[in-house]
Amino acid sequence: MSTYLADSDFELLQIERTDGVAFVTVDAPPMNVMTPPLFRELAKFGAQVAEDDSVRVVVLRSDDPDFFIAHFDVSAILEFPVEGPAEKPEKLEGFHLMCETYRTMPKATIVEIGGRVGGGGSELSMSCDMRFGALGKTVINQMEVPIGILPGGTGTQRLPRLVGRGRAMEIVLGGVDVDAETAADWGYLNRALPPEKLRPYVNELAKRIAAFPPTAVALAKEAVNNADTMPLNEGLMEERYLFQRLLRTDEAEPAMRSFLQVGGQTREAEKQMGQLVTEVDWS
C-alpha cells in the first residue's frame, strides 16, 4: 500500500491507496468524536478524492474497536452562534455539502462500521453508498433529540430513505441504540458480518468494484442516485441516456467482447456469474 498523495495534509485521517481504492482510517482519539478539525479533514479529503481519477473506490473505517465516529462535538455545537432569528440557507454548505460530496462523487463510497456510530458520524455514513457492520459490535444511535436538537447534518432526510418513516422516527425521536442485526434488517446496513469477516469482506468488495470499468461505475451510481431525486419516468429517461453514453465509451465494447470470450452466454459459465465478471478485461 502506498501513501495517498495528500496524506501529509491530514492529521486525523490515515490515508492509503492501493489498486484504485483509497482506504481512509479515522484516527481521532479518544473516541473519534466529529470535532470541527475532523469534519474539515473529511470535507477536504472528499473534495480532493472526488477529482482524483486514479481512485475508483473510497473506504471509510476506524481501527478503534469500539467506535467508528461517535457523533458531532457537542461542546462545539454549544459555541454555534444563536444571535438573531434562524435563517434558511439558499444552497447546501458546511456539513451538508460534505455529505453530498461523498454521496455524489463519481466513485463508490463504502463505510466499514466496526463499532459505534452516531450523530454526525451516522449522517456521513448514511450519505455514502454502502455500509457494513459487525455483529455484536456495531451500534447506531442518533442522540440529538434527547439533548434538545435534531439530526441536522442530513439525518432526518437520510434515515427515512434508508429504513422507512416509522423506523426513522423510532431512531430519531427515541434516541435508541440499534444493534447490527436490526440495522441490517431495517436497511441501514448492507450486511452485518461476524467481526473477523468484516474487514476482509469490505476489502474484497472495494477491490472488486475498483477493477470494473470506472465510467460504468460512475454513471451507474449517478443513475441509482437519481431514484432519490427524480420521478420514475424522468429517472427512466435519464437511465436510458446514461446507458447510451456508456455504449460510446472506450471501455464498453472491449468489456462486452471479453465477457463473451471468457464464457458469457454459455450455460456453465453463467451459473457462476459473480466470478465470471471478475475475469472480464476491459483495458
Question: Do residues 177 and 139 make contact, with C-beta atoms less than 8 angstroms apart?
Answer: yes
Beta strands (DSSP E) in 125-227 are: 130-134, 139-141, 178-179, 191-193
pLDDT, residue 9, reads: 78
Is the preceding omega at residue 30 within 30 degrees of 0, hence cis? Answer: yes
Can you give the pLDDT of all 283 residues of the chain as single tens digits? 344 445 567 999 999 999 999 999 999 999 999 999 999 999 999 999 999 999 999 999 999 999 999 999 999 999 999 999 999 999 999 999 999 999 999 999 999 999 999 999 999 999 999 999 999 999 999 999 999 999 999 999 999 999 999 999 999 999 999 999 999 999 999 999 999 999 999 999 999 999 999 999 999 999 999 999 999 999 999 999 999 999 999 999 999 999 999 999 999 999 999 999 999 999 8
pLDDT, residue 6, reads: 52
Ramachandran category for residue 3: left, alpha or beta (phi over 0 → left; psi -120 to 50 → alpha) = beta
Q: Rounded distance, CA 240 to CA 234, Å?
A: 10
pLDDT, residue 228, reads: 92
pLDDT, residue 8, reads: 65
Backbone angles phi, psi at 228, to 5 degrees: -80, -20
**C-alpha cell of residue 105:** 462523487
pLDDT, residue 3, reads: 45
Q: Rounded distance, CA 118 to CA 122, Å?
A: 5
Question: Residue 274's Cα: distance from chain center in Å?
Answer: 22
**Angle 119-127/94-104 helices, nearest 10 degrees?**
30
